Structure 1
Amino acid sequence: MKSFHDQVRIKENFKRAKVLVIEDNDDHWLFIKRAMQQCLSEITPIRAVCPQEALTFLHEWQHQEWEIPKVIIQDLYLPNRTAGWQLLRQIKQMPIPFCQVPVIMLSSSNDSNDIMEAYAFGASSYLVKPITFDGWLTYFLELRTYWWETVSLPPLHYVL
């Protein structure tokens, strides 16, 4: 049973929660969207299909703190890893609070160099994409448990 403090923290994590999903593969997006609907129905997923669209969203949200995503889920290959690394670096170089948003890197690659670079460039987590829809459900149930029910996400306020 969760304590009152835990319940308050969880409620705050879910408050107006948006997730920016940066994924260029339509099939993966369908899996992600369906899994999020089942596992994180309180969350509003916003999809960007390329780095430029993701940066456009983030720049538009700079003056609307209620639009800032709680978490960013980013594919590494957008369409290549160079573009993925560049986008991650750009997000981490943005002003507060955007640079503080946790970035979960998703990739089909399980190459140890990709994993090490993701953390070196500021990713909060690195997940290898599952092959089946059941695998996606498992990931999003675990993401729910960890990112929304366990950790205390920082309050994101726009700094002038």
Structure 2
Amino acid sequence: MSDNKRSIVILIADDDAEDRMLLKEAMEENRLKNTIQFVENGEELMDYLRNKGKYADKEKYSCPGLILLDLNMPKKDGREALKEIKEDAHLRLIPVVVLTTSKAEEDILNTYDLGVSSFITKPVTFSSLVDTMKKLTEYWFDIVELPKVK
């Protein structure tokens, strides 16, 4: 993996503190070198992406190369945030991977219709989560060429 690919920020939007901790640990288990940032709802996600409020520092909160998005969050859910991201000419280039507990066909169809890059149902066990994060990061950082979004 090149140093350039290691510098890609992963932004995780998930309201569940335990899920955030498990995702962080799963990525650490895979020795992922990327910076990981967390937001807890869709409003925070949009503030981060637009460098508003507490996310105004562009050095500290740089544009992510990949967003992992939970669908069911308070204030603004993942579906609403995804719609906003994909309607924004600047933000729509950022790959968004839905990572949620939902297995609903309607959620799968709707998020792909809104422009999501991938839809993943959260694994039940930690070892499965580690494996999923390994495959996800290998795909997005070793195989795929990502656009440079500023």
TM-score between the two structures when normalised by the length of structure 2: 0.87
DSSP-derived class of the 2:36 partner: strand
Q: Which residue of 2 aligns with 1:145?
A: 138
Percent identical residues: 26
Q: Of the two, which has the highest radius of gyration?
A: 1
Task: Determine if contact 2:97/2:120 at 8 Å carries over to the other structure.
Answer: yes
**Aligned-partner residue type, residue 69 of structure 1:** P
Residue aligning to 1:106: 99
1:2-59, CA deviations, whole angstroms, 9 ceiling, x for partnerless residues? xxxxx6xx44322x21111000011111110101122252111110001111111111
Deviation at 1:136, TM superposition (A): 0.8
Is the 8 Å Cα contact of residues 13 and 152 (structure 1) preserved in structure 2? Answer: no
Structure 1: gaps of 5 or more residues: 1-6
Separation of aligned partners in 2, 1:139 and 1:33: 13
- TM-score, length-scaled by structure 1: 0.82
User: Corresponding residue for 1:3?
Assistant: none
State the match for 2:79 in structure 1.
Answer: 85
The root-mean-square deviation of aligned C-alpha atoms, in Å, is 2.2
Deviating beyond 4 angstroms after TM superposition, the runs of 4 or more aligned structure 1 residues are 61-66
- For 1:33 and 1:85, the matched residues in 2 are separated by 23
- Please say if 1:42 is aligned against 2:36: no
Closer, same or farther: CA 152–49 of 1 in aligned 2, 3 Å: same
Shift of 1:149: 0.7
Taking structure 1 as reference, are residues 36 and 128 closer, same or farther at Cα in structure 2, changes over 3 Å only? same
Note if contact 2:98-2:119 (Cα within 8 Å) is conserved in structure 1: yes
Residue 76 of structure 1: CA displacement? 0.7
Whether the aligned pair in 1 keeps the contact of 2:10 and 2:65 (CA below 8 Å) is yes
Please state which structure has a larger fraction of its residues in helix.
1
1:100-131 deviations in whole A, cap 9, x for unaligned? 00000011111111111111011100000111
Residue correspondence of structure 1 range 52-71 to structure 2 within 5 A: 52-60=43-51, 64=58, 67-71=62-66
Count residues in correspondence: 146
1:9-48 superposed matches below 5 A? 10-14=2-6, 16-48=7-39
